[in-house]
Amino acid sequence: MRTPSLLLAAVAACGGGTADSEATPEAAQASTELTGCYDVTVGEWVVESRPSFSLRPGPLPSERGDSTDYELPPRIEFAGPSDRPSSGTAIVVPEGALPSVHRYMSGRIVGDSLGLAFGTGFAGVGAWLVRSGGGWAGTARTWIDVVPHQVNARPITLTPA
């Protein structure tokens, strides 16, 4: 009976802010386009490309023991300017939602697209999305610090929570 508690945890996450989470005027201005909580939905992995010397594709992340490097949290919150020097917005997993193994999570608007980055420092997922209805839709791709590597892709959507 874990499903109801997981659903409850996701529903309870992204509640109202606290006095400690009040944004400064600079932070509010920097994150005007990326705010709020989103439910993350992903599709099945497919092999998008592989090294030219590889005769056949390797296993998909869902078939490997290290697949957690490529799994995204089911709910995210855009939480103001990123700690790292960039024009990005920090992504956090809201309190009560399932945690993420990713040490680095950020997003940024580039033109009419939303770029997302989730990484452990050694491997992760990058995604580019476009507006779709009230949310965003696009493709997420794996990356790893070993070059060359197989690139796996899957559809991703963000729906306002």
- pLDDT single digits (tens) 42-98: 999 999 998 878 777 888 888 876 688 899 999 999 988 776 656 688 899 998 888
- Range(s) of the domain holding residue 117: 2-12+35-160
In a domain, 28, yes or no: no
Q: How far apart are the first and last CA of the chain?
A: 23
In a domain, 24, yes or no: no
In a domain, 26, yes or no: no
Q: Residue holding tokens 């899957």? A: 154
In a domain, 30, yes or no: no
In a domain, 27, yes or no: no
In a domain, 29, yes or no: no
The count of structural domains within the chain is 1
| Phi, psi dihedral angles at 160 (to 5 degrees) | -55, 135
In a domain, 109, yes or no: yes
pTM of the model: 0.75
C-alpha angle with apex 13: 84 to 154, nearest 5 degrees?
A: 65
